[in-house]
Amino acid sequence: MSIEQIAVIGAGTMGNGIAQVCAVAGFQVLVIDVSDAALERGVATLSKNLERQVNKGTLAADQAEAAKTRIRTSTDYAALSSAQLVIEAATENLELKLRILKQVAANVGADCLIATNTSSLSVTQLAASIEHPERFIGVHFFNPVPMMALVEIIRGLQTSDSTYAQALLVTEKLGKTPITAGNRPGFVVNRILVPMINEAIFVRQEGLASAEDIDTGMRLGCNQPIGPLALADLIGLDTLLAIMEAFHEGFNDSKYRPAPLLKEMVAAGYLGRKSGRGFFTY
């Protein structure tokens, strides 16, 4: 099957980024969200990001305009009837994703591939919630999607070889580099990255160094392009906490316990860049 029609569920940060790269790559794209207001915000962000690429010279103006014409939006899951691949990009919440996937499966054909952009949840568990789970796979994009070259491809126990091959093909058509990861919490990148950030938060909590010095140490001592606490603010402290909690529960290992300071900051609403305050002020 040659995939030409892709639907993205969710117009937020990840969803509009995935929609953007799909449209630029030549796919017809449908974006679905719960309200027209959410869709308008997502499309506005997408358009702004396309303009930024044009201004930087990384995308031609006519390519950006053509990409916009390939995108349509809807709040109705019935619009999925012609989709050949659906990518769920909702918030990292198991109950929410399960509810969305059941709605997706009820409105697409039996041969439509269904993917999740989860960063920590079980692909096998999510696949089990739909009919024909062999067509289900994980495709984990990284933020910001238009800039980040990597996509993790995660097979559940049920995922067929043909679904896996199609996921690889689409990823490469998007200009991304895929790596294959096993179905364990965090897969590869977040399994390594998020506990490292969590440890940096422990270091800050214990008063061993200031946030500035922690980040300077890791940038200059480990050649990281951005310090772990600034990266935490960029990712969102609520998202980090959700991932660490999934690790803690999934592995049943105390080494994955979230730092108490991380919990406290999330409780205070200090979520990082999106709230204007995290380990740094924005």
Please state the residue numbers annotated as binding site for NAD(+): 10-15, 33, 92, 97, 119, 143, 274
Which residues are part of the catalytic machinery? 119, 140, 152, 190
Orientation angle between helical segments 13-24 and 61-69, nearest 10 degrees: 110
Q: How far apart are CA 73 and CA 64, in angstroms?
A: 17
Q: How far apart are CA 256 and CA 127, in angstroms?
A: 25
Orientation angle between helical segments 260-268 and 237-251, nearest 10 degrees: 140
Question: Residues marked as binding?
Answer: 10-15, 33, 92, 97, 119, 143, 274
Cβ atoms of 227 and 214 within 8 Å: the answer is yes
